[in-house]
Amino acid sequence: MCDKCSENLHQAVAPSRRAMMLSAGSALAAAAFGGSALAKEAKAPPKPQNVLSPDAALKRLLDGNARYVSGVSRRHDFKHEREALVGGQNPYAAVLSCADSRIAPEYAFDSGRGDLFVCRVAGNFAGDETVASMEYTVTVLGTPVILVLGHDNCGAVDATIKSLQDGKPLPGHIPSLVAAIAPAVKTAAQQSGNALDNAIRQNVMDNVAKLKSAAPILNAAVEQGKLKVVGGIYRLSTGTVELLAQA
């Protein structure tokens, strides 16, 4: 083979510096969280039906919500699901939800054990611990979609609006919630329409953007097409989850 042919062949197969960095970052994260990616791939997933593309996983979420809304949820065989999941998990979706007692993602999406990786906090915002949890489920468990799920009449967002308007700090550790939600409330204050509805929506969109851009793990997975991050609003009166338009 001539020198030029050899050089062209090397250029064709050599990965870009950015691709190598992203791959190395993912491998390091997998090793730190629980073993090498190679060992993970060698083991059959507990729930083979959960191995989905991001689009297919999102469709499965919405199909489950449609069943829930219609009152035709499936019967889940929890006994055999427990047995299958003793040795591991491979949830097909992750949900960042408000801690509100009226919101239950496992019910709202008609899911079984091991299907959803759920993080819940009042105001459904992504703090450092939540970002780390999402990095874990994406890198180690192979979860292909993250849904940030807000809901109408959110008490945490409403409390933030009132605290900012009154200029009075709330008791205990609640100001930490206010601090996290305040940027969305301030942005929504510039919008026309219902202040609470606008702030709830803006808060979801802000946290979708935060998770999509979280370096070095989540943003790399998004860029590689392995992960989709979306936002939605749960309607208390109907149980319907309405997806927000994606940027």
d(CA 175, CA 163): 9
Token digits of residue 211: 């998770």
If one compares 36 and 182, the residue with the highest pLDDT of the two is 182
Can you give the pLDDT at residue 226?
98
What confidence category does residue 6 fall into, taking pLDDT thresholds of 50, 70 and 90? very low
DSSP the chain: --HHHHHHHHHHHSPPHHHHHHHHHHHHHHHHHHS-HHHHHHSPPS-GGG---HHHHHHHHHHHHHHHHHT-PPPP-HHHHHHHHTT----SEEEEE---TT--HHHHTT--TTSEEEEE-TT----HHHHHHHHHHHHTS---EEEEEEETT-HHHHHHHHHHHHT-PPSTTHHHHHHHHHHHHHHHTTSSS-HHHHHHHHHHHHHHHHHHT-TTTHHHHHHTTS-EEEEEEE-TTT-PEEEPPP-
pLDDT at 7 over 60: no
Q: Mind listing the pLDDT tens digit for each residue in 116-160?
A: 999 999 999 999 999 999 999 999 999 999 999 999 999 999 999
* Percentage of the chain lying above the pLDDT 70 cut: 82
- Burial class from Cβ neighbours inside 10 Å (0-12, 13-18, 19+) for residue 64 reads buried
Q: Mind listing the pLDDT tens digit for each residue in 187-232?
A: 999 999 999 999 999 999 999 999 999 999 999 999 999 999 999 9
pLDDT at 240 over 70: yes
If one compares 51 and 83, the residue with the highest pLDDT of the two is 51
Token digits of residue 229: 């991050």
